[in-house]
Structure 1
Amino acid sequence: MGALLDNITARVAVVGRDHCFLYANREALAFYGLPPEQVMGQHLSKVLGDTAYAGYLPWAERLFSGESLRWQGWVEYPTHGRRFLQETMVPFASDGRDVQAIIVFGRDHTELKLREEELAEQIGQLQASEALKAAIVDHALAALISTDGEGRIVEFNPAAEAMFGRLRADVMGRLVSEVIMPERYRSAHEAGIRRMENGGAPRVLGKRMEMHALRADGSEFPIEMVLWRTTVGGTGYYTASLVDVTERHSAAQQIERQRDALRQSEKLSAMGSLLAGVAHELNNPLAIVMGRASLLEEKCDDPALLADVQRIREAAERCGRIVRTFLNMARSKPATRENVSLNDLTRAAAEMLNYSYRSHGVEMRLQLADELPSVKADGDQVGQIVLNLLVNAQQALAACEGERRVLVETGVEARRENREPRVWLRVSDNGPGVPAELRGKLFEPFFTTKPEGIGTGLGLAMSRSLARDHGGDLTLEPTSHHGGASFRLNLPISGEPVHESAPVPLQATDAALQTRVLVVDDESEITELMRDILEAAGYEVATAESGEVALALLETARFDAIVSDLRMPDMDGATLWREVDQHHPRLSRRMLFVTGDTLSPGAREFLRKARCAGLDKPFSKGDLLAAVAKLVE
């Protein structure tokens, strides 16, 4: 039996009731690193060390009472240092007597345990690395789409969901060509995938390409794409990084339109200078005609001859007014404000275009109010507005068949409380009118409904700007009695911008004190400005520097309205609106978006679809208070 115990690979030792070794086999002696004489009969503390002996003592009483124990763990030894052991301790008693000794069977699993821990650490690092990669993919601003060798989607990150309007769960396993590619690209894409999978040379990998992609609603939009191939476990995968370049394309088109408009403006400027010179030269002969006609009028006694002379003088005066009007518009001079007659400016513009109207078969009718008050304004600028409206009306009728009419009216607005009297002018035609989908764009710079080469898209935008500089406005009326377009110009008598009282009182009221507004903007100065304006009006205001912070505040507090920037990093206003609409639908109908990006088609389209109010930067105090008051009314 002793020979058997000495040759097994497990450690075997016997300990007596005095905690001294009675036996230790060869494996145990090798582990202790001591000869038999330094182990047999020696106390456990002397052989194992005080630390290991202290760990054994709590179990000794249980073992000698007849209980068997099994344990594993790390133990500190004086000869071998820290080791991981697995031991079974069995009490030994003969002939039913008390336990005389403890038999200890043990194995040293230190190397195995260390390897397990190393492997666990490597797995943990791998998991952390994978989690990091997943976090990068999930939070990437670019859309990332991965497919297998057959072109089936295996990854579709949140940016891709937002870009294409599709959920990840709905597209996994589907062919990427069917999900995001217009039909005209699909055959070429599938042929390229087959060629590369069969070992053919890649033609597009690593190259930056522009193409069109397909949203879930079927609309196409331009993207920039970079494609690369990755091999994992012998299997090839393709990943595409996609960026929506709609705004870039829009900006490029805008720049090109501006260049075209600039070239057109330069041509008009050169032509205007030439014609202004010709008109200036006409002043001398016109002065002679007018003067001589006046003298001749004084000398005429024949009533018939006098009537002829008067007609000559009136025609010459009319020519003089036309030349003066043209020269005033052609000259570059500082704006001046003086009392002018809107009726006189209208007549001058009408006289200037009278021949053009007649030659194009357009009837112009004037219905000008009697005793119209004078307006303190720059006559040249207001005359330019009237002229632009008359020119636009004539061009709108150019392609119309049948009778073509333009009606020009003036009048005085009924006096309103806290608002000074205003005069107005209306120019309406019986043409095709303005389509509903274009009415909101009509006053944008460089937007025009005219054929190429006819208009620059600046006339109405400039005219509205001039009207507002005078405290008035230029609008397209909802309907026209003549069936075409009707534009209305209104100007205050003083010619100064009118800051009308805002619908929300500036002093705090009980209603305002109960209204809580959340302001969201990544620009701290804008946030502070809006908070100061709203708090001064009695609102209770909280601010958030990002969409994420705003959503967190909405979970903890009640708000009656949200004022948010539309363009923000990380989470833009459109994404914030979708989150609010999903979790706080009542508030999604009380959101006001502040933006300086009003020329962006994407911004206009979002506000239209979300049915949210917009406020252009820069805005006045009254503009903000009026918009917020409308939200909470």
Structure 2
Amino acid sequence: MPARPVPPPPPGEAARPDMLAELMDALTEGLAVFDGGGALRQANAGFLEMNPAIAGMLSPGLSWDILLREWVLRGGLPPETGRSLGFAEARLAEGERMAAPLEFEAGERAFEIALRATAAGGLVLVQTDITERRAYEENERAADQLVRKVLESCPANIIMSRVGNGEIIYRTPAATELLGTAKRTHAHFASRGERADFVTALLPEGRVDGMAVTGIRADGTRFPCQVSARLIQYRGEEVIVSTTVDVSREVELRRRLAGQREQIFQAEKMSALGELLAGVAHELNNPLSVVVGHALMLREEEIGDEALRRVGKISDAAERCTRIVKSFLAMARQQPAQFVPVDLAETAETALDALAGSAEGIGAEVDTDIAAELPMVRGDAHQLAQVIINLVANADQAIRDSGTGGRIRLSLAPGPDGETVVLSVADDGPGIPDALRSRVFDPLFTTKPAGSGTGLGLALCHRIVTAHAGRIAAEPREGPGAEIRVHLPVTRDTETAGAQAAEPAQAARGRILVIDDEEDVADLIREILARDGFEVTVAGSGEDGLAAALAGGFALILSDLNMPGLDGRGLYERLLRDRPEMARRTGFVTGDTMSPQARGFLDGAGRPCLEKPVAPGELRRLARAMLEKGGQAT
């Protein structure tokens, strides 16, 4: 190192050597001062303590080059650090003011050395013990590594982002899996407005808990989620630490529970209504049987055209009343149906043919779209046909009343899961307002004008579909019209629905005993059967009927169920005890199939039963079938 001229000491310096030494020794850092010629002027106690290997040679006048050589040779300084200090001193000699700090280790301790040029042309070496700082930093790094390892193993979706621009600083793998690798959190929100609302809610108190937003998954799909966040200080700036919870399953579960609650509520309403309907239907059955029966028989008489026209009107009105009463009974009935595999395509064609041949007919054009090789569903063909009839008739009535539209589309197709058949009836009429869509299946609720509907059609459909383990709903539509969609489960059974036994060309004949306390009904049944060639005896009470039955000679006994005194149940039990062969020839024509007692008896007895109001054709088929089967009906 070239010698430099030594400037004179500043004025007064020689007068204060002790004070300067005391100040230097008071410092925690090690301090060594060299003059412009590179000779050691002074080293404080801290420097001597930090460097015991060279402490004995540290005296004023020691040159910088010798100090570095001995420091390295005696093991107090690593060779590479010594070379770096030599280079740093050379740069200071060329005019630099400060060299970058150097770190090294000596034994179990760590140090940092910095060189600074003095105004007088010399240099100052500052040595700092950084052992504790190193340990602290190591602990911090270990803690950071532990936290990172925990976060990367944790299934929580945690993201650190800047408040202003949403730039993501850190995200856990779980967050990447759910939300993707976008650079800013804006991409995680379905709209900018939701992100702005989130930040607005966060800033006042620095926290948000369970805020509901719509998120965007890594694949671009939207999903409902809840975001919780805290505002923290990180490296001198405010950042957001947030976690996102996917609640799509919970939302779906709540939707299903709401649907189940709605079904339970619907069932409760139907049960309460059933009690009312059962009473009304029972009171109407007997007089309605007389009206229907006589009106249908009058049609078979040879009468004038005008009288026949009036009889037709009476008959049509009576049949409509019959359908209403049977709708009451079907809605209120609680016993399970006996289901068999049903071809829904064939059932739909039968239902449409029945509608087309009815008195009112169908005013709208019906388009059908029935998929080929439709799987069978398990159910009651007559009830499912009633569903189709009600849906199509309801659509036709809506079109007719509104004067808009004119087409109905009926489609049948396998469900997307392959486990259901989907029946859809859509029209281009006035449609169903959104506010009323959830009420259209309520009993007695109707949007039709007064006198145009009973409010039972869709309620009956709901009841039948639910009993078939299916579901029915009014689908929302963007355009005009309405659509009712029914999902029915398919069946894998190989059995097929048995066809109705054909009416024999020469039906069996015999004596029939009719027991009914309603004189008009008993007389009607007698007349219907007598016209079909039967010999009919009528009894007006259970006691008279039992006496006649015990006397014998009857091929068939048809009894009412509810009668004063000895009722139909008591009559059957007496016959079963005293004349079991007569009990096996007994059937029931009754309007009481609703009460648990009546239902339990009929199910337990297993006897044929015809429900009032009585139609002549049904009564004749029952009698013939029972006689053909020896008292049993198909």
Q: What TM-score does the superposition give when structure 2 sets the normalisation length?
A: 0.39
Higher gyration radius (CA): 2
- Higher RCO, 1 vs 2 (CA within 8 Å, ≥6 residues apart): 2
